Amino acid sequence: MLFPELSVLADTTPLDGFYNMALDEALLDSTERPVLRLYRWDGPWISFGYFGRNDSIAKLHPGRPRVRRWTGGGIVEHGNDLTYSLIVPASHPFALIPASTSYRMVHEAIGPAFGPRTQLAPAPKTPSAPDSHCFAAPASGDLLEGDAKIAGAAQRRTKAGLLHQGSIRPCPPELWNRLPTLLAHSISPETPTPAQTNAARALAASRYGSPDWLGRR
C-alpha cells in the first residue's frame, strides 16, 4: 500500500474539462492530506499535456471539446476511461519520492486489479511527442496488459506538493470502488470545501477555459 490513510473524493456527476482540471489545481493548493479524486467527463473531451500544440490537436480531433492539462503527457480521449488524480501535500513523504519512482509505484499498485498479465512498460527507444496519443505510445512505467497500455499518467510538482493525473482503460466496472483500496490501508470520504469549489470555479474561468491557456502553444 502506498498510503496508510487516503481521503477519497468521488465525483460521480460528470463535469466539464475546464472545471475538472481546475479542481485538481485547487485541491493541490489547499489540501493538508493525500487525496484521491475520481471523476467523470460531461462529454467526449480531449485533454492534452502542458506542452501540447492546440492547433495540431484540433486538426486530429475536430469538433471535440479540448482542455490543456497542467501536467505533461500526450493526448487522452475521455469518455470510456476512468480518470483519477492523486494530490499529495509537500509535507507528506510520498511527495518527496522522485517522479519516475512514484509514477511506477502508483501503476504497480493498480496492476492487481487486472490480474497477472500486467507489467510496467520499459523506457521507449525514442521519447513520445507532446501531440502523440497517450495510449498509443507507452512511456516508461506505464501499466501494460500484454502489449496493450491500460494506464498512463502525468505529474506536476509545486511548492504545495504533487499532482498525479491518470487515466485507465479499459476500466473494469468495479475499479471505481476498488482503486482507493489498492492505494491505501484506510480510506475516508472527502468533499471539496466551499473555498476549494470557489477557487476551482475561478481557475476554470481565468485559466483552463480561456483561449490564451488553450492556445498558448
Between these two residues, 124 and 210, which has the higher pLDDT value?
210
Q: How many helices and strands (H and E) does the chain possess?
A: 6, 11
Per annotation, catalytic residue among 134, 139, 183, 214:
134
Q: State residue 111's pLDDT score.
A: 95
Q: State residue 132's pLDDT score.
A: 78
Across 85-89, 100-104, 133-137, 155-159, least confident range = 133-137
At 129-145, the pLDDT tens digits run: 667 788 987 899 999 99
Mean local confidence (pLDDT), 28-50: 97
pTM, whole model, 2 decimals? 0.95
At 163-210, the pLDDT tens digits run: 999 999 988 889 999 999 999 999 999 999 999 999 999 999 999 999
Band the pLDDT of 3: cuts 50, 70, 90: very high
Domain boundaries, the chain: 3-214
Mean local confidence (pLDDT), 153-161: 97
Band the pLDDT of 128: cuts 50, 70, 90: low
Distance CA 115, CA 110 (A): 10
Residue 134 designated active-site: yes
Class of domain 3-214: alpha beta
Distance CA 13, CA 207 (A): 22
40, burial (CB in 10 Å: exposed 0-12, middle 13-18, buried 19+): middle
Contacts of 5 (CB under 8 A, 6+ apart): 33, 34, 184, 185, 186, 187, 188
Band the pLDDT of 126: cuts 50, 70, 90: low
Contacts of 172 (CB under 8 A, 6+ apart): 113, 114, 178
